[in-house]
Each structure stands twice: as structure tokens, then as C-alpha cells.
Amino acid sequence: MNNSYITAYYYDEEELLEGIRQIKEKGVEILDVMTPFPVHGLDKAIGLRRSRLTRVAFWGGTIGALIGFLFQAWVFTQAYVINFGGKPFFAVPSFMPVTFEMAVLFSAFSMVLAFLIYFKLGPGAKPIIYDERSTDDRFLLIVKAGDADETKNIEKALSQAGAEGIKHKA
Amino acid sequence: MYVSPIREPLIRGEKNYSQVTKDILAPMAGKPSKYWYMGMTLSSAALVFGAWATFMTIYYGIGTWGLNKTVGWGWGITNFVWWVGIGHAGTFISAILLLFRQKWRTSINRSAEAMTLIAIACAGFFPLIHMGRLLLGFFIFPYPNTRELWVNFNSPLLWDVFAISTYFLVSLIFWYVGLIPDLGTVRDKAKTKIRKAIYGFLSFGWTGSVKQWSRHETVSLILAGLAAPLVLSVHTIVSFDFATSVIPGWHTTIFPPYFVSGAVFSGFAMVLTLLIVARKALNLEEYITVNHIESMNKVIILTGSIVGIAYITEFFMAWYSGVEYEQYAFLNRAFGPYAWAYWIMMTCNVVTPQLFWFKKIRTSLVATFIISIFVNIGMWFERFVIVVTSLHRDYLPSSWVMYSPSLVEVGLYVGTLGLFFTLFLLFIRVFPVIAIAEVKSVLKSSGDHKKTAHHE
């Protein structure tokens, strides 16, 4: 298995997008791109699918709302029935605030946790940092290398596409 | 993207990405300035005063406060509502302005969110200390217990528990998720090993890969969508504490929208108070420009006017309802023994913010600073007026009293101000005060000039 890769960087997001278009035409496989901020259109250029986090948020919120609502209903009709001046026990309007807050809480937390777990982000996580400047002002491109000849061609393609600082790592 | 030529740039000075990083990280590096130490000394002194007041309240009980049989809610609840209100600006800026695609939010959202979190912490302190027995504070949460009791889910005070804790937690993750990429930048820029280790820990292993960014944006957008109704719900529920009671002056349906706009109004005022000083002290005038100040002032005019209309509507409804108790409560507010508080509120909230209609005033830093302080004072008095004037003359004239706070109550309030400024001063040393990545993402479309490619 060939694990070697080539890194190169751009100074500008528009040059990066144009560069990616050019090297993709030449059939170079892009492994990853590290940018200092979200670059619009980059996810499409790389071919990322739509995020499924929205579904996590939806179902998290649904579960939260159900827990909140059913719990209140259970407390006031089963577990601890109190007569508040003859008002109904199953008082749906007054359950709404807590139901809403629970929905928001569960939705937000389930989505953020899913995000962190998916990317293995968390306190003390040790990421591979290819280039420390990629969180500052460089748009770092990581492409798959091949054998010696292919690598040369890829490096040439990269430099034709305007990339700088081309480095090959085995 | 088309940018209209008349629109002024959001970021001043000819910046490139690396310059942005450098400028924003600068306040975190090196030794703090002497102004920072002065601020820290003052706010810690206030904190010590608050600690004394807290000790007195816990050791001797609520009797050390100026409350009496008729006025059972005084400065405590006033401060609670005031702080919660201030805590509305941060999430409003980052959530609602994100949904409205207002790019100017990028320079101010980070510090406003931090301010929100600190303000909610200050707010939460008051209901807790008002319980008298602080250690039993956890009784407010529904948990299985040997008393076989559940909390009262029909009570707005319990809804408050849920609303405020949810708001705090969601604001906290919203703020922190936004902070992760910038902490990654701090980590990669760190010079010493310890700094690198600490920020490496805090940055959760952020790398800034395409997929991380793409999902990060999704998460931010949905969190904004969740936080927007949440912001509105929190002060709505706080207003239910009053509105669902049967006290004349509290029992009104206008309270939720009136409280929410009042909250945004006071929150923006506090953001302005802080940022006008901070931008100068931290040399961030090119990022937080007069344009930002002006935009915030426009929000102040809008929300201030809504609050003003609400005051007048309340008066009209009191008359129109034909309920003599309601009518008396309002006449007593405006012309009774607490009229001075009412007219301070009217002046600071309704009159002075209207000066922002003049472009000269809303683009003047000195005028904005002064008016923002006025709004802070006015909004404090609004809550004081609502709480105290509605209570101090109840249905039974023989129990009519006046209320004034004791030194302990003043101490608690000053203490939370100390806590607020202490934590904010720590925040500006520990975290980047401006969202670096977000500013970079609007730099091209809204920078001083189109960024030219930078080559070494």
C-alpha cells in the first residue's frame, strides 16, 4: 500500500479553487485540503456529500421534546397528581415551555456531540498537523503520490496549477 | 459577489490573512498593560465586596436584605432580570444576525457571546442566593428523591430553571464550537511548549480540513437556528414570572415581546459599553469600526422604540381596562413615591436613545458610550420599577411600605459587576476576542480593498 503524499499550498482561496479544478482534470487524487477558514465552493469541488448532521439535530430534538412532554404528563397525571384550583391535570399549554427547552437542548447537544465524535475531536486529541501555517494564511493541499514517475508528473501538475511549497512525503 | 461601492468596508486597513491573525492574537501575547491591571484591581475589589455580602446572606439569612412583608422581591430579582437581559445580546448577534447574513457580526460576535455567558452566570447567582439555603439549590431540578416529590411543571419559576440552564448550555457550546478553529490557530502560533500544550488541549485537535469546515458550518448554522427561538423564549419565560401572577402592573399580556426587546436593547448597550473601551485598549479599531458601532446603535433605536411603545401601551391598557387597581398601579408608578425611578427609566430608555436618529451622534464614540451607559441604567430602573412599584402598595393600604436595599443587597449587586468585569478581563487575555476565521472569510468581500496575493 502506498501511503506517500505530496503537500503544496496556495496563498489565496480563489487560486486554490482554480488550482484544484486544474489538477483534478489531470486525474490527481486529492486527499485533503486544510484552510484557515471555510472556503465556499470547496466542499463541492472536493465532492463532499451533504451533511447528515441536520438529521441528528432533528431526531435529537424530537427525542428531547418527547422526553420533556411525556415526563411532565407522567408526573402530573400518574406519579404526583396535584389539584391546582380545579385546573386540568393534563395541562398541555403549561407543558410547552419545558418541552421546547428540552427539544433545543437535546438537539444542540446531540448534533455537537455527533460532530465531535465523527471527527474524533475532543480535549487532548492529537491531530496530524501537516503545516502549522494552514490555520493562519496558507491553503494547504494534500494529494496522493504514486511511484517515482507518477510523483514527478503530479508535482509538475501542481506547480503548473500555481501551487507553491511542493513537498513529497513517503 | 457584487459589493455596492457606497458600502463602507467592514475591516479597515490593507490586511492580508496573516496580518489578521497577528492583530487579533496580539492582545493575548506579552504582559498585560497597566490599564488591564487597574481594571482587574477595581473589579476584584468589587468581587471582594460581593463575597462579603454573600457570606452575610448565607450566614445570617435573607433578613440581612431590605425586603419586608409587602415587598418580597427587591434588588435580587431586579438584578436577575437585568443580567439575563444583558445576556441576550451575544446569542442575538451570533444567531439571529447569522441567519440574516449580517456580515458585520463577525467582528463582535465572539466577545458578545463571552459577555452573554458571564452575564447569565451573574444572573443565575441571584435566584440561588435568594433561596437562603444555597446548598439546597439543586431542589429546583426534577430528580428522583426520597421525598417522593416532583417539581411543579406549571410554575413559570420552574420554566425559568429550564430556560436559563438550556440557554446557558446552548450558548456555551455555540461559543465554544465557534472558538475551536481559532484555538487551533492559537495553538499553531504558540511559541512556548506549555502554551502549545494548553491550546492543543483546548482546540480539541482541530486541523481545518475541508470536511471539518463544511460540517462546522452546518453545525454553526443549525445551532444559530436553534438559538434564535431560544433567545426569544428565555426572556419570554422570565416575563412569565411576572405576567402569570395577579399583581396589578405585572398581569399583562404585553410582557413577553416587551421584555424580549428590552433584553436585546440592554444587551446591545452593554456590548457597546464594553467594546468601545476594548477596541481602543486592544488596538482593534480596524476590526471593530465606527460602522459596527453605528449598526449596533441602529438596533438600539429599534429596540428602544419598541420598549417606549410598550411603556405607553401599558398605560393605555391600564386606563382602557377600567380596572381601578391596574389604573392606580400605573399612576402610582408615574406620580407616586417612586416617581423618580420611573422618570429615570423613561428618560434613559425612551428619550436619550432617540438621539441616535442623528447620524452625528450615532457615529460618535463618546456620545455612544455615554448613551449606552444611560441605557444600562435605564434598563436596571425598568426592572426596579416593575418589581418594586407594583408591590409596595398592595390591596391593603395598612400594609403599604417603602423599600430600600440594605448594604448587603448593594454588595451582592456590586459583587456581580465585579465578577462580570473580572471574567471579561480574563477572557480577553485567554481567548481571541474576535472570531479570526470568520473575519478572514469576510475579508475579501468586505475588506478595505481586494486582497492581493501575498508572496514571500
Nearest residue in chain A measured CA to CA from B177: A112
**Whole-number Å distance between alpha carbons of B113 and B224:** 12
Residues A25 and A61 in one domain: no
Mean pLDDT computed over B60-64: 89
% residues pLDDT > 90 (chain B): 47
Q: Which residue has the higher pLDDT, B63 or A150?
A: B63
- For residue A15, the model assigns a pLDDT of 82
Residue among B204, B223, B444 whose CB faces A108 most closely: B223
Position B5 pLDDT exceeds 80 = no
Name the β-bridge partners of B278: none
* A125 part of a folded domain: no
Q: What is the ipTM of this complex?
A: 0.90
Number of H helices and number of E strands within chain A? Answer: 5, 4
Judged by CB atoms closer than 8 Å, whether chains meet at B226 and A108 is answered as yes
* A-proximal residues of B, 4-43, CB under 8 Å: 16-18, 21
- For residue B210, the model assigns a pLDDT of 86
Report the length, in residues, of chain A: 170
% residues pLDDT > 70 (chain A): 98
Mean pLDDT computed over B220-242: 91
Name the β-bridge partners of B209: A34
Report the gap between the CA of B386 and the closest CA in chain A (Å): 23
* A41 part of a folded domain: no
* A44 part of a folded domain: no
Residues A64 and A106 in one domain: yes
- For residue A63, the model assigns a pLDDT of 96
Position B454 pLDDT exceeds 50 = no
Residues A150 and A113 in one domain: no
Position B8 pLDDT exceeds 90 = no
Give the single-character DSSP code of B451: P
Mean pLDDT computed over B245-258: 89
- For residue A2, the model assigns a pLDDT of 61
Mean pLDDT computed over A124-131: 81
Tell me if B363 sits within 8 A of B293, measured CB to CB. Answer: yes
* A88 part of a folded domain: yes
**Whole-number Å distance between alpha carbons of A95 and A86:** 17
Chain B contacts of A59, Cβ < 8 Å? none
| CATH architecture observed for domain B17-142+150-446 | Up-down Bundle (1.20)
Name the β-bridge partners of A142: A7, A32
Position B451 pLDDT exceeds 50 = no
Lowest mean pLDDT among A71-85, A145-159, B25-39, B437-451: B437-451
User: How is residue B225 written as a grid cell?
Assistant: 437556528
- For residue A44, the model assigns a pLDDT of 82
Mutate to test the interface with A, among B18, B149, B204 (most CBs of A within 10 A): B204
- For residue B453, the model assigns a pLDDT of 43
Tell me if A109 sits within 8 A of B169, measured CB to CB. Answer: yes
pLDDT band per the 50, 70, 90 thresholds, residue A104: very high
Position A13 pLDDT exceeds 50 = yes
The model's pLDDT over B128-138, given as tens digits with 9 standing for 90+, comes to 888 877 888 88
Residues A68 and A27 in one domain: no
Judged by CB atoms closer than 8 Å, whether chains meet at B208 and A122 is answered as no
Mean pLDDT computed over B157-181: 92
Mutate to test the interface with A, among B219, B230, B234, B441 (most CBs of A within 10 A): B219
* A27 part of a folded domain: yes
Structural domain range at position A102: 53-118
Radius of gyration, CA atoms only, chain B: 23
Q: How confident is the prediction for chain B on average, in pLDDT? A: 88
Distances (CA, A) of B123 to B77, B120, B433: 9, 5, 23
Count of structural domains, chain A? 2
Chain A contacts of B206, Cβ < 8 Å? 121, 127, 135
Give the single-character DSSP code of B10: S
Position B290 pLDDT exceeds 90 = no
CA-CA-CA-CA torsion sign (B308, B314, B319, B324): negative
- For residue B1, the model assigns a pLDDT of 55
The model's pLDDT over B396-424, given as tens digits with 9 standing for 90+, comes to 889 999 999 999 999 999 999 999 999 99
pLDDT band per the 50, 70, 90 thresholds, residue B237: very high
Type of residue numbered B170: V
Report the gap between the CA of B73 and the closest CA in chain A (Å): 24
Cell 465552493 sits on residue: A41
Terminus-to-terminus CA distance in chain B, angstroms?
Answer: 28
User: How is residue B196 written as a grid cell?
Assistant: 502549545
Beta carbons within 10 angstroms of residue B246's beta carbon: 7
Chain A contacts of B434, Cβ < 8 Å? none
* A128 part of a folded domain: no
Judged by CB atoms closer than 8 Å, whether chains meet at B441 and A38 is answered as yes
- For residue B83, the model assigns a pLDDT of 94
Classify residue B36 by burial, with Cβ atoms within 10 Å: 0-12, 13-18, 19+.
middle
Report the gap between the CA of B76 and the closest CA in chain A (Å): 24
CATH number of residue A142's parent domain:
3.30.70.1710
Cell 476584584 sits on residue: B44
* A43 part of a folded domain: no
Chain B contacts of A134, Cβ < 8 Å? 188, 207-208
* A-proximal residues of B, 45-84, CB under 8 Å: none
Buried b (16+ CB within 10 A) or exposed e, B407-446: ebbebbbbbbbbbbbbbbbebbeebbbbbbbbbbbbbbeb
Position A52 pLDDT exceeds 70 = yes
- Cα B54 to the chain's mean position, in Å? 23
* A113 part of a folded domain: yes
The model's pLDDT over B23-32, given as tens digits with 9 standing for 90+, comes to 888 888 878 8
Q: Is this structure's pTM higher than 0.80?
A: yes
Assess B163–A contact: CB distance below 8 Å, yes or no.
Answer: yes
Residues A144 and A101 in one domain: no
Assess B146–A contact: CB distance below 8 Å, yes or no.
Answer: no
| B352 Cβ neighbours under 8 A, 6+ residues apart | B371, B374, B375, B378
Judged by CB atoms closer than 8 Å, whether chains meet at A104 and B230 is answered as yes
pLDDT band per the 50, 70, 90 thresholds, residue B447: low
The model's pLDDT over B315-364, given as tens digits with 9 standing for 90+, comes to 999 999 899 999 999 999 999 999 999 999 999 999 999 999 999 998 99
Position B455 pLDDT exceeds 50 = no
Distances (CA, A) of B120 to B125, B203, B235: 9, 24, 12
Nearest residue in chain B measured CA to CA from A51: B215
Tell me if B183 sits within 8 A of B199, measured CB to CB. Answer: yes
Assess B404–A contact: CB distance below 8 Å, yes or no.
Answer: no
Tell me if A8 sits within 8 A of A166, measured CB to CB. Answer: yes
